[in-house]
Amino acid sequence: MLRLFTRSTRNIPLCQRFSSTLTADKYPNIKRGDFGKINDEDINHFSKILSPNQLITDSNDITGYNQDWMKKYIGQSKLVLKPKTTEQVSEILKYCNQRKLAVVPQGGNTGLVGGSVPVFDEIVISLASMNNIRSFDQSSGILKVDAGVILENADNYLSENGYIFPLDLGAKGSCFVGGNVATNAGGLRLLRYGSLHGSVLGLEVVLADGTIYNSMHSLRKDNTGYDLKQLFIGSEGSLGIITGVSILCPARPKSVNVAFLGLENYEQVTKCFQKAKSELGEILSAFEFMDKDSQLLAAQTLKTTHPLCQDDIEGIESVPEYPFYVLLETSGSNKEHDDIKLEKFLEDVMESEIVVDGTVSQDEQQLKTLWTWREGIAEASQQFGGVYKYDVSLPLDSMYKLVESVKERLNELELSSTEDNKKPVYEAVGYGHIGDGNLHLNVAVREYNKEVEKALEPFVYEFIESHKGSISAEHGLGFQKKNYIKYSKSETEINMMKDLKKHYDPNGILNPYKYI
Ligand code: FAD
Ligand code: 2HG
Ligand code: ZN
């Protein structure tokens, strides 16, 4: 039976876990490149370009810039520069290129593949001080922003003007628009608004030698030659520093509904998706799935009552027995129309027993709470000490087989401790943007452990290759997947990428040790 949803929302707690092993010590095979070492003369030079508060040298103040969101990768940078203008970025890169000083462009530092932090002593170039909205055209919906604008701030600004940012993700309160473009982030509504390769209209980018490439125009159509901006979308700071973004934004939907459903097996999840596409059509804006173990993980940090629990209990006890859950969102311009369509769809999937339980949000607050049970998993996955994250594209029918195979493999592993509560692996969970063919496999562990890592890699990558998937659907390659690109790209493709890198960054100063 479908029920009314009545629970209150609670914020997702921030990650508290800290680790102190330097990336360079964890991976002794990686050697520092032949880059210059920062000296007093360099600092003096940067002080001429920037004012004192745009230059950080105090080691305590630098800590946060040296470690990634997962606290998994820790660099040793001794200098953070925070330019305020594109010209300052250009001056900085020109000098770094001449001196062969390596740099890491950094946005909100929410990346999940270790791409946003130094490996050794690279200079961090933070875009945090470039945070102005440049312009917005009310009739076309074209927004132009500095790369350091926080995604949520851009979306709030658009909301006041009746528009929406065509990307949404759990890290929206911290990640920057420039970082989103640099990673070609996918997120929760790619199903509806498509990838940034389609919605970004132009970019302003500073190349390794300081040259400013500017295509910040407002044209939807422009067939004059190569579409150069595409090179930088998803280039993860390896080809240039994005300083400005021009993006086409759709009108903000006037009516939004969220349904949270319980299903009895994975096949029903895929059937439910097919039905949602055919019955909800143009109003379907998100279709996310979560397995039961991912909900049990989330329950431990959210500590609220699961949306499909009928009793007044909280935490893991409140998670029902359904092996799979779906969060489905509709957005449109006419509430009555959307409600009728959603109601009919829900009746159909319940009658045909594709869905066995469900609830629909009745107001904005409930809608947000339902989303926390999906968005909260990423945070929850690392609450026990660490997490191995795999972000993959796979054909829908074989997608969950990866999670099952990994679970089996980890169960077979003869790990040092036989007591369950001491075993390094806590749980392997699967969830993600099933509407985009994108699975997130998270293996939550109590500690990072070489045995576990060996069981997972290259096993996971080989599985993906054999099913013709991608080893990175949306988070990118960064440091973590640099060596595994061959599982998704041919030698020819890798060589073409290397050629581009050599051409645009011959000294290799931009985000070294990562990407390719
Ligand atoms: P950073 O983490 O700072 O940087 C990421 C990479 O881009 C680095 O390689 C960095 O060098 C480079 N970079 C950053 N800014 C620039 C720039 N201006 N110019 C050139 N290079 C630059 N990703 C998804 O795709 N979908 C999701 O649903 C999603 N959900 C997430 C949920 C959570 C809770 C978290 C923590 C992360 C999530 N991510 C997701 C991952 C992450 O890719 C995004 O959060 C975001 O796009 C990264 O933006 P950022 O500003 O934090 O970039
Ligand atoms: C999401 O969809 C993010 O929640 C994060 O892409 C996924 O942490 C992850 O593995
Ligand atoms: Zn995701």
378 lines ligand 2 (CB under 6 A): yes
What is the pLDDT at residue 10?
29
Question: Percent of the chain scored above 70 by pLDDT?
Answer: 96
Mean pLDDT of the chain: 94
What is the pLDDT at residue 424?
83
Identify residue 497 by its one-letter amino acid code: M
Pick from 15-19, 286-290, 300-304, 306-310: least confident: 15-19
Identify residue 470 by its one-letter amino acid code: S
Task: Write the pLDDT tens digit of every residue in 117-152.
Answer: 999 999 999 999 999 999 999 999 999 999 999 999
Are the CB atoms for 246 and 141 separated by under 8 Å? no
Task: Write the pLDDT tens digit of every residue in 147-161.
Answer: 999 999 999 999 999
What is the pLDDT at residue 412?
87
State the CATH class of domain 386-475. alpha beta
Taking the centre of ligand 1 as the mean of its atom positions, its distance from the CA of residue 384, in whole angstroms, is 23
Taking the centre of ligand 2 as the mean of its atom positions, its distance from the CA of residue 378, in whole angstroms, is 5
Domain 133-248 and domain 386-475 have a common topology: no
Q: Which CATH architecture has domain 133-248?
A: 2-Layer Sandwich (3.30)
Taking the centre of ligand 2 as the mean of its atom positions, its distance from the CA of residue 187, in whole angstroms, is 8
Instruction: Judge whether residue 379 has pLDDT over 70.
Output: yes
Q: What average pLDDT does the segment 331-335 reach?
A: 96
What is the pLDDT at residue 19?
61
Closest C-alpha to ligand 1, atom 24: 185
**Residue 205: nearest ligand to its CA?**
1
Question: In ligand 2, which atom is closest to the CA atom of 170?
Answer: 4
Q: What average pLDDT does the segment 507-513 reach?
A: 98
CATH domain 255-380 topology: Alpha-Beta Plaits (3.30.70)
Are the CB atoms for 47 and 92 separated by under 8 Å? no
What is the pLDDT at residue 417?
59
What is the pLDDT at residue 214?
97
Work out the pLDDT band at 208, boundaries 50, 70, 90.
very high
Where are the chain's structural domains? Answer: 133-248, 255-380, 386-475
Name the 3-class secondary structure at 130.
coil
What is the pLDDT at residue 3?
46
Residue among 112, 184, 287, 374 whose CB has most ligand 1 atoms within 8 A, to mutate = 112
Taking the centre of ligand 2 as the mean of its atom positions, its distance from the CA of residue 479, in whole angstroms, is 17
Are the CB atoms for 37 and 398 separated by under 8 Å? no
* Residues lining ligand 1, Cβ inside 6 A: 69, 104-112, 115-116, 127, 147, 169-171, 175-176, 178-180, 182-183, 185-188, 236-237, 241-242, 378-379, 474-475, 478, 511
158-191 burial, b at 16+ Cβ within 10 Å, e below that, comes to beeeebbbbbbbbbbeebbbbbbbbbbbbbbbbb
What is the pLDDT at residue 328?
98
Taking the centre of ligand 2 as the mean of its atom positions, its distance from the CA of residue 440, in whole angstroms, is 6
Task: Write the pLDDT tens digit of every residue in 72-99.
Answer: 999 999 999 999 999 999 999 999 999 9
391 lines ligand 2 (CB under 6 A): yes
